[in-house]
Structures are given as structure tokens and as C-alpha cells.
Amino acid sequence: MKYNFDEIINRKNTDSFKWDFYNDPEGTISMPVADMDFRSPEPILEALRGVTEHGVFGYSVVPDELKNVLQERLERLYGWKTEKEWQVWIPGLVPAITATCRAIGEVGDGVLTSIPVYHPFHLAPNYVGKKLQTFPMIEQNNRWTFDFEALEKAITPDTKLFMLCNPYNPSGTVFTKEELEKLVTICQKNNIVICADEIHCDLILDIDKKHIPLASLSQEAENMTITLLAPSKTFNIAGLGCSVAVIPNPELRQKFNAAKDGFFPPLPRHSMVAALSAYRDCEDWRLQLVEYLKANHDYLYQELNGYKGLKMLPLEATYLAWIDASGTGIPDIQERILKAGVRLIDGKLFMGEGFLRLNFACSKIVLEEGIKRIKEALK
């Protein structure tokens, strides 16, 4: 491997959310929040040094080259032809999720999403006076997918927005063309706008799976979709805050802009320069990263799936394992694992009672130690 993902970088006492927020005992291995313990690729670091050396940190505009690079990339990697003016650059996807919930429909209207799900999806509707509507993910053919029957049943006349996470956090599902087409058909029939959060699209672990941007399916899909993207997960620059909403439909774009204006600060130059370098200069790093994550995933799956009642389905994408711990019969399992020296996230946060989420974007050695401790905790 050209890049050293085995290197262990100490993140303690760096004001890291993942490593410092919880005040865990010294030596705890931290595997909650979705960022990686790897150093970002050198071209990004070099670009950031350039901005820092310049030494002037005033307000910035989005550079045209960033828009070009994203446009070119979406077509090259995912076959989606887009226009530059569809891009709305924003300093984070979580606020974009809230802005979308605010933009679509009236106060009291419904926002539909599957559960368990990345928590801002089920929290955001409430922040902006909308009604959360949910339906369950189900296990089918050794993967998590939508219960389409339940989805259709959950729709009411006031459902105006569907929040889609693809690839899915926390189950790692990469939705197939058929599944996405079915979703579009249902939403179109019911006049529902789709917000497709595709932040994890560059992290496909299963080589038989391909990410399909929902909006690329058809003109109709394009017209009814707000797509959210960012280089942050893939290139480990989440703390810099650089994301983009791609909104082909001018009316939806106008609504999104109206919902966010006055709330979102302009993007810092550091974040945009890092994003540009990530998308333009770091493709070989990304490919090796995915290989490394896949090996970590396979190891984790082999070690933990079936161990003392733990159950995990193989992930198609992301570095966030979704582990069913209900079979262990241990009610406070997260606490028990924490006592053994590993910090995970309790699935309750995602409306997934009985589950644990484990972030395996770390050096293999750290993962091995983490797994050893989890096994000890279950003995």
C-alpha cells in the first residue's frame, strides 16, 4: 500500500469530539462519532498550508474550479450530468437536513423517513415544526432495506418530504436501481419531495455494488430531489465543514435557499480549498482507503458476527457497523463494553433499540484491540 493507514495517530487532547468529548477513562478506544482516525491525504494538507501561509482569513466565495471539479466528478464516477448552477455550497449537511425540512411543506406537515436512521433525520422535523413519520428498515437477503409496504402505509395526505440516506447510515445499505425507482414512483404518486443524503457515496465496500444518485434515475427524479453531498466523510475533513446541495429544480432550489439564508455562514476558505483538493487530487488515496476499510470490515464481521449473541449483516458501504446486540441478553451492553475499554454508540440514538454502532475507520491494530475488549466484555 502506498499510504500508511496503519499509523496510529493520538487524537486525545486535540479537542476531538470522538476522542475527548466523553471524558472516558485513559486508554479507552473511541469508536463512536463518524470521522476517521487517519491523516487526510497530503495534497489536502499542502493546500491547507498554502491558505494558512497566506495569512489572511477574510470572507470567501466558492471558487469556480470547485464547482467544475464536482460537476465533472459526478459524471465520471456516477454518470450524473449536472449543471453548475444546481450547486448550493453549505458549511455542513446536518444544517442542510434541517433547512430542507424547513423548506418543504408547511408547519405541521409530515416528513417521512425509515428507522433506525442517522439521528438528525428523525430530530430535524421537530426543530422546524414538522411531524416525523417513520417506517422500519427490514432484513432481507442478508441486507437491510426498506419495508416498502410499511412505507406506503406511513404516507398521509400531509406527507411532503421523504428523507433518504443512501448509502445508509447506520446499516450500510447501497440501494439498488430497482429500490430507488420504486421509491421515486411512490413519492411521485404522492407529490412528495425527496431529500437524498448521499454523503457516504464514495465509500462503497462491496465491489458488486454501485452507488446510483437517486436524481440521476430520470428527469422526474431529478425534478423532485434535493441531493446532499460532501467530501468530508471520505477524505476525513468533516471538521472543516464543506458540503453541497445539488438541486436541479429551480423552485426547490429557491425554497432551500430561502430556508437557509440568514442561518448559514459563508464557507471558510480552508474548507473549500480542502474540498477542491480532495475531489481533484486524492482519488488514488480514496481507492486505497476503501480497500483498507473493506479489510477492517471483513475482519470485524468475521470476529463479531455470531459471537455470544451478537449479529451483524455485512455492510455494502460506510465504515459504521450496525450490530444487533439484543441476542446477548445483556441490557446495559454499551456500559459493559465501555467498562472493558471501548466507546461505542447505543443504537437508541438512531431509534434502533438493542443495537450498537461501531466505527471501524481506524488502524487495524486498534480495531483488533477493540474487538478483543468487546469479546472480554461479553464473556
Ligand X SMILES: Cc1ncc(COP(=O)(O)O)c(C=O)c1O
List residues binding ligand X (CB under 6 A).
34, 92-94, 118, 165, 169, 197, 199, 230, 232, 238, 243
- Nearest distance, CB of residue 276 and ligand X, angstroms: 16
C-beta separation of 256 from 102 below 8 A: no
To ligand X, the closest distance from the beta carbon of 67 in angstroms equals 18
Residue 92: CB minimum distance to ligand X, A? 4
Q: Kindly give the residue spans of alpha helices, DSSP state H, lying in 155-215.
A: 177-189
Q: 39 is written with which cell numbers?
A: 491523516
* Strand 225-229 with 243-246, pairing: antiparallel
Let me know if 261 is exposed, middle or buried by CB neighbors in 10 A (0-12, 13-18, 19+).
exposed
For the bound state, the minimum distance from the C-beta of residue 76 to ligand X, rounded and expressed in Å, comes to 23
Query: Which residues are CB-neighbours of 13 under 8 A, at least 6 positions away?
Result: 20
Of the two residues 113 and 169, which places its CB atom closer to ligand X in the complex? 169
**Amino acid, single-letter form, for residue 57:** F
**Shortest separation between residue 352's beta carbon and ligand X, angstroms:** 14
Toward ligand X, which CB reaches closer, 112 or 238?
Answer: 238
Q: Do the beta carbons of residue 102 and residue 259 sit within 8 Å?
A: yes
Q: Whose Cβ is closer to ligand X: residue 173's or residue 328's?
A: 173
- Look up residue 334 and give its three cell numbers: 454499551
Residue 245 or 333: the one with the smaller Cβ distance to ligand X is: 245
CA 361, 364, 365, 370 torsion-angle sign = positive
User: Residue 120, preceding bond cis, omega within 30 degrees?
Assistant: no
Q: Which is nearer to ligand X, 275 or 337 (CB)?
A: 275
Closer residue to ligand X (CB): 34 or 378: 34
- Determine contact, residues 162/182, Cβ cutoff 8 Å: no
Report, in Å, the least distance between residue 80 CB and ligand X. 19
